[in-house]
Structure 1
Amino acid sequence: MRSLPLFILAFFLLQQTRAQDKDELAIRKILSDQTVAWNAGNIEAFMKGYWKHDSLMFIGKSGVTYGYQNTLMNYKKNYGSAEAMGTLVFDLVKVQRLSRDYYYVVGKWHLKRTIGDVGGHYDLLFRKVDGSWVIVADHSS
């Protein structure tokens, strides 16, 4: 009878691990979908990974931008052609659960372009909003 509490504990720990794995896979899929969209030249589809909200925060070389629409317009302004967009590759360095509703992601990005390659690092804060994972903060350098 003493093994019943241990069994119950093991069961709940296993369920939590499965949920974490499911969430991490969902986040990795968002990043993969973004890469596919970018490489197809579709900035709007790339932006589906972001929180469609005025509180979205993007930090880049020009400073802080707030809001989904402003972030979208910056992407369109800075990457308005196939030559400027190039081919995107993400290299994940760290995917870490912070809580039930937040993940922290660190990685490298690289654009192979005919006009000159560029790249850098990024860190993303993902939040589960209405049952879906979205990027609520992006710091790319």
Structure 2
Amino acid sequence: MSSPYLDHHLALLAHLRSILVALGEAEQVPEESHALFLERFDELLTLLPQEPEQSLYLGQDLMCQVIHRYPQIAHLVPRDLLWFFGGDCLHFMPDEEITLFQALDERRYEAEQNDEPFDWEREKQFLAIPQESAKH
């Protein structure tokens, strides 16, 4: 049950996992608990493509744990993942960012309803341009 939207987020999770592995290799975290955390992260990577809806709670839990357990890399957590998993993850997003992602989801839903292609990254850049222009 793969989709470009799901594939995008799986790629972001894989990237985040590589950051977590590097953090462990740099010996910046307790090894045993870190290894157990990576096992749960791998479980999410396995389950998400098979059961996307059922995996959302695990994803929320893991994203929140990344921010709490590894504050030194919290800024590297892709914002898309916080939005994708939702729930408690939204507490780590400012209102302006939530508004941007809501608009993105509305555009994605509209494109799906019309059987049109939707490029998440391109649309995100397009929606962010007016906000950035207004700040300057």
**TM-score bucket (shorter structure):** under 0.3
TM-score normalised according to structure 1 size: 0.27
More strand by share: 1
TM-score normalised according to structure 2 size: 0.27
Larger radius of gyration: 1
